């Protein structure tokens, strides 16, 4: 993970604001320049959406949110920043003028990315004094959730800049893919445009309406593309005979009658009206804010689903999310603050996720144990046990749990877990968690016995772990024992 | 859910076999005709993949798997079936001949669907005696997981047939979308083809390789299309101003220089070699069976993720899955067999899902509680408590749980839950679950106290529920009490 600490966002519509939000959530201080009067409102709205999405996306310890400031000039925004992202409207002269100013006032070693959807980096960098550090870094909306960035260098861009850009975007959880040769619209928008053109013909000619077309994507091939794209999917379609067989079988189709739909349809009022009214019908009364919320929740859920892909190793965008989280954990470990062991520990906070709700509208029972287990993991990391030590053969396993459900938790509720160590001695770790709501409501308690296992057998943990645990246990020994500890199911109070 | 009990599959390559598997898993007896010598092998392999995927897709009670038989002639396959699906190779004369035979031997009221990717139904039905019941029913691979079917009628197809087809495909968990006007390749393959053509140019011209292109889809817009398709996504991009604004903003792009890529690239050896070798590199040594497994697991996870979408109400293909499951539950309720209450009940079986594995390679602790809670739900359904009664205000809530972890469970392991009712009296329900492996290993036990709630307050359940529960409790009273019942965390044995 490359550490950058300061970034500038020049142009803050939905795309620029999305960059600002993703960077701030990765702990980077961001300075925004955009003379538009609604800039602060737009950035605030996008940041609110992004914050909401990230609270559901990961329980890894996000760094303190970076500061988002607003500058009055490009000079003020870009001076002394590590990375500058330009996202002004798609007009060559405008972008060139803005990039020239950025180039003039930024440190010569600052990375400059342009969010352009289609202009050539060679055309953008031509008047710059340090054109070698200019790339196109083209993201997709919503920038704070979709991890892709197309990285395109121009004739004057250095190879080192491409490498550095990949590292910088990886540091904010993104996948930068270099495009080998610059062409207008690069790769992503070429693909989108080709299908968009075809779709417009289908609507214009009344073959189907926009809802049917979207349904064919989202109940059909969209589910394949979200995980494998097009070529890998077709590789499977080719079967054991592989790609060559697939192309031999389907290549000729390209010459069949349906390739006639390659003209560009006229965007007359009639077509615009047709699409707009069909789209209204499809939305079924859901406003843009509703659709954004649903889209973001679905993206979060799909990313999390893919994180468990390939038998837990993660797949595609979900694997990337797992790697981002591993980096966050590693960072959190390095910055552990001393603990106050004179009171129960507060190591885990989370919001009730839509996927956790049962048919009664409340958080479903096994999700309470998930929250408690995450709190246990947080404690284990504090004493020096994590995925890394587990891989090396040392970990704690839960052998016994007692849960009491005291009050229902609803969608979106903020939960905090209070953790008391009842015993931390030898191979045994005896814990008591209390799941608290924002208003102090006790939603549930969990009592847990864990056993340390090393090299496949129960045994004492390594001395540094034992010492850290003993220090907490010693502090907590002075606390009153929770009334529910030692309780069996159905035992009278 | 329309109930069909018998179907015929004519032509059983990957698509025909996918239809056979989806239908058999929905409880339909299927007769397959395909003279190819490897037909039984292909159907068996696809059925194995589909069975594996469904075990992970849903814990709803699938009906007994339909019988898959093989016929020696079309006549034998189609006589006395409700639905016939034709999936022979894409040659008009071949398909027409096969459909004419089907038409001749099938009941006049049987629905006939052709899986053609591009031929016009009017051309297919022209020689049939009962052409009104012929539709194109075009699915996408893998048919057993992707729910979409394009339904296209020809000039002689009746409107009633289109309606019936929608109902029939809904009964096997699919979404049939009627296409308003027949054109070659319909809607889905037009869209695929347009993007495929563009992709081939990008590879041919070395703008990027196939892995980069796939990455731009699966880390980018593919994640949007899996849930919303294209028009609804662009509606959001248009912001509050909506579709009209979006089209005004981006419509002109279609006339920009990049629309030049509409010719068809020559599929010469050089291009075929380039794609095949890049695809080999991208697969990174994963074979087709590996890729199929990963694809299916990812599809399952994405479908499950979308089932929790829109704040638990379900979204798109996930909502459809939820509706399919509700139908399965309703059917299971109607067919409840009498229980043997002289022994613990076996009401829930499940396989350890990839998403349930933790960094130690074992089923993570909270998933045990999920399995136990699903077993509790199964018992509640048996006594007459389900989502429907909960909506009407009567349900049981868990107040207390005690879990012991006895042996680890690994990915794919088959788990069965044995359930003993310790008490079922008044508002209290006291349960003991044992999670067993296929070899009888006791993986975990769970002791649970539930309270009946009606109209928001603890109270006795309705008399029919109380009677069903009392009958089980009376039977189980004769069983020995489990040794771990009444045990507190850390209590010596």
Confidence of residue B23 (pLDDT cuts 50, 70, 90): very high
Widest Cα–Cα separation across chain B: 82
Q: Which residue has the higher pLDDT, B59 or B206?
A: B206
B141 touches chain A (CB under 8 A): yes
Q: Which residue has the higher pLDDT, A481 or B293?
A: A481
Choose the weakest-confidence range: B27-31, B214-218, B326-330: B326-330
Q: What is the dihedral of CA A31, A35, A39, A43, to 10 degrees?
A: -20
Q: Do A254 and B405 touch (CB under 8 A)?
A: no
> Which among B188, B258, B390 has the least Cβ separation from residue A193?
B258
Q: Is the pLDDT of residue B397 over 90?
A: yes
Q: Do A283 and B235 touch (CB under 8 A)?
A: yes
Chain A residues within an 8 Å CB radius of B252: 267
Chain B residues within an 8 Å CB radius of A263: 262
Inter-residue contact A14 to A106 (CB < 8 Å): no
Q: Do A316 and B219 touch (CB under 8 A)?
A: yes
Map residue A245 onto helix, strand or coil.
Answer: helix
Chain A residues within an 8 Å CB radius of B397: 360, 405
Q: Do B209 and A244 touch (CB under 8 A)?
A: no
How far apart are the C-alpha atoms of B136 and B139, rounded to whole Å? 10
How far apart are the C-alpha atoms of B231 and B228, rounded to whole Å? 8
Structure tokens belonging to residue A448: 């847990």
Chain A residues within an 8 Å CB radius of B486: 488-491
pLDDT in tens, B317-346: 888 988 888 887 777 665 566 789 999 999
B38 touches chain A (CB under 8 A): no
Q: Do A184 and B258 touch (CB under 8 A)?
A: yes
Confidence of residue B283 (pLDDT cuts 50, 70, 90): confident
Q: In chain A, whose CA is at the least distance from the CA of B369?
A: A366
Helix residue spans in A112-229 (DSSP H): 121-125, 159-171, 188-204, 210-216, 222-228
Task: Give the number of C-alpha atoms closer than 13 A to the C-alpha of residue A477, restricted to the C-beta side.
Answer: 10
Only one residue has tokens 């550490």, namely A3
Q: Which residue has the higher pLDDT, B396 or A59?
A: B396
Return all residues near B344 (Cβ < 8 A) that are at least 6 apart: B418, B419, B420, B434, B476, B479
pLDDT in tens, B441-465: 999 999 999 999 998 899 999 999 9
Inter-residue contact A137 to A113 (CB < 8 Å): yes
Q: What is the mean pLDDT of residues A461-486?
A: 95
Only one residue has tokens 């490498």, namely A163
Q: In chain A, whose CA is at the least distance from the CA of B229?
A: A214
Choose the weakest-confidence range: B69-73, B238-242, B425-429: B238-242
Q: Give the pLDDT score at A337.
A: 65
Chain B residues within an 8 Å CB radius of A144: none
Q: Give the pLDDT score at B260.
A: 45
Chain B residues within an 8 Å CB radius of A489: 400-402, 430, 447-449, 485-486
Which helix (H) or strand (E) segment holds residue B30: the answer is strand B29-33
Confidence of residue B29 (pLDDT cuts 50, 70, 90): very high
| ipTM of the shown complex | 0.83
How far apart are the C-alpha atoms of B225 and A301, rounded to whole Å? 14
Q: Do B219 and A317 touch (CB under 8 A)?
A: yes
Q: Give the pLDDT score at A263.
A: 61
Q: In chain B, whose CA is at the least distance from the CA of A484?
A: B488
How far does the CA of residue A79 sit from the closest CA of chain B (Å)? 31
Q: Whats the size of chain A, residue-wise?
A: 493
Q: Do B218 and A188 touch (CB under 8 A)?
A: no
Q: Give the pLDDT score at B312.
A: 75
Q: In chain B, whose CA is at the least distance from the CA of A179?
A: B208
Q: In chain A, whose CA is at the least distance from the CA of B184?
A: A258
For strands B111-114 and A148-153, give the pairing. unpaired
Confidence of residue B472 (pLDDT cuts 50, 70, 90): very high
Chain A residues within an 8 Å CB radius of B432: none
Q: Whats the size of chain B, residue-wise?
A: 493
CA angle in degrees (0–180, nearest 5) for A98-A101-A103: 110
Share of chain B above pLDDT 70, in %: 94
Q: Is the pLDDT of residue A457 over 90?
A: yes
pLDDT in tens, B60-109: 778 889 999 999 999 999 999 999 999 999 899 999 999 999 999 999 99
Q: What is the mean pLDDT of residues A292-316?
A: 86
| Residues in a beta bridge with A432 | A420, A447
Q: Does domain A202-285 have CATH number 1.10.1040.10?
A: yes
- Architecture of the domain whose range is B337-476: Roll (3.10)
Out of 1.20.1440.230, 3.40.50.720, 3.30.450.30, 3.40.50.12280, select the CATH number for domain A6-178.
Answer: 3.40.50.720
Q: Give the pLDDT score at A351.
A: 83
Task: Give Cα B245 distance to the centre of its chain.
Answer: 37
How many other β-carbons are positioned within 10 Å of the β-carbon of residue B481? Answer: 12
How far apart are the C-alpha atoms of B362 and B352, rounded to whole Å? 9
Q: What is the mean pLDDT of residues A286-293?
A: 85
Q: In chain A, whose CA is at the least distance from the CA of B487?
A: A488
Q: Does domain A336-476 have CATH number 3.40.50.300?
A: no
Q: Give the pLDDT score at B429.
A: 97
Confidence of residue A252 (pLDDT cuts 50, 70, 90): low
A397 touches chain B (CB under 8 A): yes
Q: What is the mean pLDDT of residues B428-435?
A: 98
How far apart are the C-alpha atoms of A341 and A436, rounded to whole Å? 19
Residues 313-332 of A with CB under 8 A from B: 315-317, 320
Q: What is the mean pLDDT of residues A307-315?
A: 82
Residues 47-106 of A with CB under 8 A from B: none
How far apart are the C-alpha atoms of B400 and B381, rounded to whole Å? 20
Q: Give the pLDDT score at A324.
A: 83
Q: Do A225 and B217 touch (CB under 8 A)?
A: yes
How far apart are the C-alpha atoms of A129 and B130, rounded to whole Å? 76
Q: Do A244 and B272 touch (CB under 8 A)?
A: yes
B281 touches chain A (CB under 8 A): no
| Residues in a beta bridge with B425 | B428
pLDDT in tens, A128-183: 999 999 999 999 999 999 999 999 999 999 999 999 999 999 999 999 999 999 99
Average pLDDT score, chain B? 89
Residues 422-441 of B with CB under 8 A from A: 423, 430
Inter-residue contact A303 to A317 (CB < 8 Å): yes
How far does the CA of residue B245 sit from the closest CA of chain A (Å)? 9
How far apart are the C-alpha atoms of B135 and B115, rounded to whole Å? 9
Q: Is the pLDDT of residue A329 over 80?
A: no
Helices B288-307 & B39-57 angle (0-180, nearest 10): 40
Q: Give the pLDDT score at B408.
A: 92
SS3 content of chain A, % helix, strand, coil (to 5): 45, 20, 35
pLDDT in tens, A352-384: 877 787 766 789 999 999 999 999 998 998 999
> Which among B146, B231, B405 has the least Cβ separation from residue A282?
B231
Q: Give the pLDDT score at B1.
A: 46
A297 touches chain B (CB under 8 A): yes
Chain A residues within an 8 Å CB radius of B372: 366
pLDDT in tens, A50-94: 998 888 788 777 888 999 999 999 999 999 999 999 999 999 999
DSSP result, A17-71: HHHHHHHHHTT-EEEEE--STTHHHHHHHHHHHHHHHHHHH--S-PPPPPPEEE-
> Which among B148, B196, B232 has the least Cβ separation from residue A282?
B232
> Which among A148, A208, A227 has the least Cβ separation from residue B298?
A227
Inter-residue contact B187 to B230 (CB < 8 Å): no
Closest CA to B304 of B379, B215, B370: B370
| Residues in a beta bridge with B341 | none
Map residue B209 onto helix, strand or coil.
Answer: coil
For strands A442-454 and A414-425, give the pairing. unpaired
Instruction: Count contacts between A and B (CB, < 8 Å).
Output: 544
Chain A residues within an 8 Å CB radius of B180: 206-209, 212
Q: Give the pLDDT score at A1.
A: 46
- Architecture of the domain whose range is B197-285: Orthogonal Bundle (1.10)
How far apart are the C-alpha atoms of B391 and A33, rounded to whole Å? 52
Q: Is the pLDDT of residue A304 over 90?
A: no
For testing contact with chain B, the best of A49, A194, A262, A307 (most B CBs within 10 A): A194
Chain B residues within an 8 Å CB radius of A237: 14, 141
Share of chain B above pLDDT 90, in %: 61
Domain boundaries, chain A: 6-178, 202-285, 336-476
B260 touches chain A (CB under 8 A): no
């Amino acid at each position: 993970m490359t550490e950058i600490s300061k970034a500038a966002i020049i142009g803050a519509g939905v795309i620029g604001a999305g960059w600002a939000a993703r960077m701030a959530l990765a702990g980077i201080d961001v300075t925004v320049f955009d003379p538009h009067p609604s800039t602060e409102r737009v950035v605030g709205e996008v940041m609110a959406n992004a914050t909401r999405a990230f609270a559901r996306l990961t329980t890894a310890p996000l760094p303190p949110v970076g500061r988002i400031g607003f500058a009055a000039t490009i000079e003020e925004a870009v001076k002394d920043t590590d990375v500058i992202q330009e996202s002004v409207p798609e007009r060559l002269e405008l972008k060139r003028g803005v990039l020239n100013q950025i180039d003039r006032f930024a440190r010569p070693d600052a990375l400059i990315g342009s969010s352009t959807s289609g202009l050539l980096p060679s055309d953008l960098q031509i008047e710059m004094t340090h054109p070698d550090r200019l790339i196109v870094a083209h993201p997709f909306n919503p920038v704070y959730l979709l991890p892709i960035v197309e990285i395109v260098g121009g004739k004057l861009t250095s190879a080192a800049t491409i490498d550095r850009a990949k590292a910088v975007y990886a540091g904010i959880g993104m996948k930068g893919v270099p495009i080998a040769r610059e062409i207008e619209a690069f790769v992503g928008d070429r693909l989108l445009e080709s299908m968009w053109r075809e779709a417009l013909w289908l609507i214009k000619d009344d073959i189907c309406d926009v809802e049917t077309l979207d349904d064919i994507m989202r109940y059909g091939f969209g589910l394949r593309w979200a995980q494998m794209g097009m070529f890998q999917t077709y590789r499977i379609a080719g079967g054991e005979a592989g790609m060559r067989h697939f192309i031999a079988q389907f290549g000729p189709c390209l010459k069949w009658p349906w390739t006639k739909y390659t003209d560009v349809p006229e965007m007359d009022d009639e077509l615009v009206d047709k699409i707009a009214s069909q789209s209204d019908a499809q939305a079924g009364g859901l406003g843009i804010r509703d659709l954004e919320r649903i889209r973001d929740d679905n993206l979060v859920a799909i990313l999390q689903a893919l994180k468990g892909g390939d038998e837990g190793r993660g797949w595609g965008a979900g694997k990337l999310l797992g790697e981002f989280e591993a980096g966050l954990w590693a960072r959190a470990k390095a910055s552990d603050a001393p603990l106050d062991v004179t009171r129960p520990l507060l190591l885990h906070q989370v919001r009730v996720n839509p996927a956790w709700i049962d048919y009664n509208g409340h958080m479903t029972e096994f999700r309470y144990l998930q929250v408690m287990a995450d709190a246990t993991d947080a404690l284990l990391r504090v004493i020096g046990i994590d995925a890394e030590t587990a891989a090396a053969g040392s970990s704690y396993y839960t052998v016994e749990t007692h849960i009491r459900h005291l009050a229902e938790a609803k969608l979106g509720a903020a939960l905090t877990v209070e953790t008391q160590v009842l015993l931390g001695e030898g191979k045994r770790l005896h814990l008591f968690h209390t799941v608290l709501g924002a208003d102090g409501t006790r939603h549930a308690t969990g009592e847990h016995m864990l056993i340390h296992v090393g090299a496949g057998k129960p045994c004492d943990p390594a001395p540094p772990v034992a010492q850290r645990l003993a220090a907490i246990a010693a502090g907590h020994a002075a606390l009153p024992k929770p009334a529910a500890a030692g309780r069996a199911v159905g035992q009278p109070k």
